[in-house]
Amino acid sequence: MDLSAISPELMVASLMVASTPLLLAALGELVVEKAGVLNLGVEGMMITGAICGFAIAVESGSPVLGFGAAALGGAALSMVFGALVLGLLSNQVATGLALTLFGLGLSSLVGQSYVGIKPPSTPRLDLGPLSDLPFFGRAFFSHDWMVYASLALTVAVWWVLNRTRTGLTLRAIGENHDAAHALGLKVLGYRLAAIAFGGAMAGLGGAYLSLVRVPQWTEGMTAGAGWIALAIVVFASWRAGRILIGAYLFGGLTVLQLNLQAAGVALPVEYLSMSPYLVTILVLVVMSRRKGRSTAAPASLGKPFHAQA
């Protein structure tokens, strides 16, 4: 056992990198669920974003364009879901699952000619004196811009949801779409916009995997990250701040256990791997024990909405 081999600043740095895709995707899903829609297609939208971002970044040589394309790709795919669920009132759970299968298939089709290619690298930001700080410089202030964008987006999502009229409307729709409709709020318009946002964020998360974290394109490379993002939303009891904690906890545990193993610490890997899921279950139990009704889930979550005349 040689704990000194672990460099804390490098570990924190890779923790942030490992958590960013989860954070992005979970934030997007949070907004979707806050609007009362359950989109289980996160995995499919992530992997679609991963290949769209990868392909465009490779073709154009610009990671920024790649991330833009990833957001567009994810949003476009989510519109299929939006049209089916909002327009045709299809079952949200089944449609979301179908979206995942569709996304996985579509991405491997699109990605066939991109196997084994190196993407243009996304440079680390130089934050001047901040990057030179001991420990903190390497751990927090020498990442690529996407890491900071994801943190900024966390704040932005929190602010919009809790401090703006748009956010209030969105939450009202998620809590009771019939009442919101009676008030003259545009239920379908808000929901469609939320779904598109969720798709774009999942796409960004996927592109972060293929452009920065791995970086390469491999079929099926999200390997369940979309499902973890869904779990994080529940874990966070639908709050933006806790999404950040959840994502860093999930990402952090992965990185921590790999580092501990590499340092030769004898430790039951299985337990660390399952711990985030256990915590999620625990959070759910604690939440449902609280009083009678108040689970934190939006009350209209997953219910179809059909405007009554």
Partner 1 sequence: MIRRRTLLGAAALAALATGAFAQDDKTKVGFIYVGPVGDGGWSYEHNQGRLAVEEHFGDKVETVYQESVPEGADAERVMTQMALSGADLIFTTSFGYMDPTMNVAAKFPDVKFEHATGYKTAENVSNYSARFYEGRAVQGLIAGRMTKSNKIGYIASFPIPEVIRGINAAYLAAKKVNPDVEFNVVWAFTWFDPAKEADAAKALIEQGADVVLQHTDSTAPQAAAAEAGNVITFGQASDMGEYAPMPRVSSIIDNWAPYYIDRVQAVMDGTWESKSTWDGIAPGMVEIGEISDAVPADVKAEALALKDAIASGETHPFTGPINKQDGSAWLVEGETADDGTLAGMDFYVEGLSGDIPN
DSSP state of 142: S
* Residue 123 touching partner 1 (CB under 8 A): no
* Residue 113 touching partner 1 (CB under 8 A): no
From the list 7-15, 77-85, 177-185, 284-292, the region that binds partner 1 by CB under 8 A is: 7-15
Taking the complex as a whole, the smallest distance from the CB of residue 286 to partner 1 amounts, in Å, to 22
Taking the complex as a whole, the smallest distance from the CB of residue 100 to partner 1 amounts, in Å, to 6
Instruction: Centre a 10 Å sphere on the Cβ of residue 153 and count the other Cβ atoms it contains.
Output: 18
Taking the complex as a whole, the smallest distance from the CB of residue 254 to partner 1 amounts, in Å, to 6
Please say which residue, 261 or 288, places its beta carbon nearer to partner 1. 261
Of 90, 108, 131, 295, the residue at the interface with partner 1 (CB under 8 A) is: 108
Of 60, 216, 237, 275, the residue at the interface with partner 1 (CB under 8 A) is: 216
Taking the complex as a whole, the smallest distance from the CB of residue 261 to partner 1 amounts, in Å, to 4
From the list 56-64, 152-160, 168-176, 267-275, the region that binds partner 1 by CB under 8 A is: 267-275
* Residue 227 touching partner 1 (CB under 8 A): yes
* Residue 136 touching partner 1 (CB under 8 A): no
**CA terminus-to-terminus distance, the chain:** 70
Of 91, 164, 166, 273, the residue at the interface with partner 1 (CB under 8 A) is: 273
DSSP state of 250: H
* Residue 209 touching partner 1 (CB under 8 A): yes
Taking the complex as a whole, the smallest distance from the CB of residue 231 to partner 1 amounts, in Å, to 9
Q: How many Cα atoms are found within 13 Å in the side-chain-facing hemisphere of 248?
A: 14
**Which of these, 36, 16, 17, lies nearest to 170 by C-alpha position?**
36
Taking the complex as a whole, the smallest distance from the CB of residue 111 to partner 1 amounts, in Å, to 7
# residues near partner 1 by CB under 8 A = 48
Of 125, 151, 160, 258, the residue at the interface with partner 1 (CB under 8 A) is: 258
Of 59, 61, 89, 101, the residue at the interface with partner 1 (CB under 8 A) is: 101
* Residue 16 touching partner 1 (CB under 8 A): no
**Which of these, 197, 206, 219, lies nearest to 30 by C-alpha position?**
197
* Residue 95 touching partner 1 (CB under 8 A): no
- Contacts to partner 1 by CB under 8 A: 5-7, 10-11, 14, 18, 21, 40, 43, 97, 100-101, 108, 111-112, 115-118, 121, 209, 213-216, 218-225, 227, 254-255, 258-259, 261-264, 266, 268-270, 273
